[in-house]
Amino acid sequence: MTKTETQDRPRRRGRRAATGLALAGAATLAALAVPAAAFAGGGSISNTTLRPGDEACVAAHAVSSVSASGSANAPGLKFKIIGQSGAVVTGSGSPGPVTSWGAQTQVGWYNWQGEGDYTACAKNNGTSNVRLNLLVLNTV
């Protein structure tokens, strides 16, 4: 081996090490910049007959948004979303007994109550049995 070849080896190793560290650092920064996958949760209730005064609810934990929808075979059910404080989420209640309904809230909206448990409910305020076709709560 000549003196020149011996001197180049440490330089190449140093460059390779520097390149490897730069790539590892870039990969770490890229991983930190990519947001974590959001957890989506929720639940549903379907095909349930509610007698007058009965209520059916489904609950889930929300980090940044909540949406809910429901439907019934006849007017008589009143729907709402209840926040973690126990209060009805402003603007989420149906105006009265309805056959279909939907509501949502999320971070930054005036009616967002913060991260926590949310519940969607359907209550029969009528005088006869009503079939709850579907009540769905979705959370992120």
Predicted local distance difference test score (pLDDT) of residue 10: 54
118: tokens are 């949310």
Burial 107-126 (b: 16+ CB within 10 A, else e): eeeebbbeeeebbbbbbbeb
- Separation between Cα atoms, residue 83 and residue 88, nearest integer Å: 6
Fold of 41-139: Jelly Rolls (2.60.120)
| Residuewise pLDDT in 10s, the chain (140 residues) | 455 445 555 555 555 544 444 444 444 433 333 344 455 789 999 999 999 999 999 999 999 999 999 999 999 999 999 998 999 999 999 998 999 999 999 999 999 999 999 999 999 999 999 999 999 999 99
Predicted model pTM: 0.72
CA 33 to the chain's CA centroid: 21
**pLDDT of the residue at 40:** 73
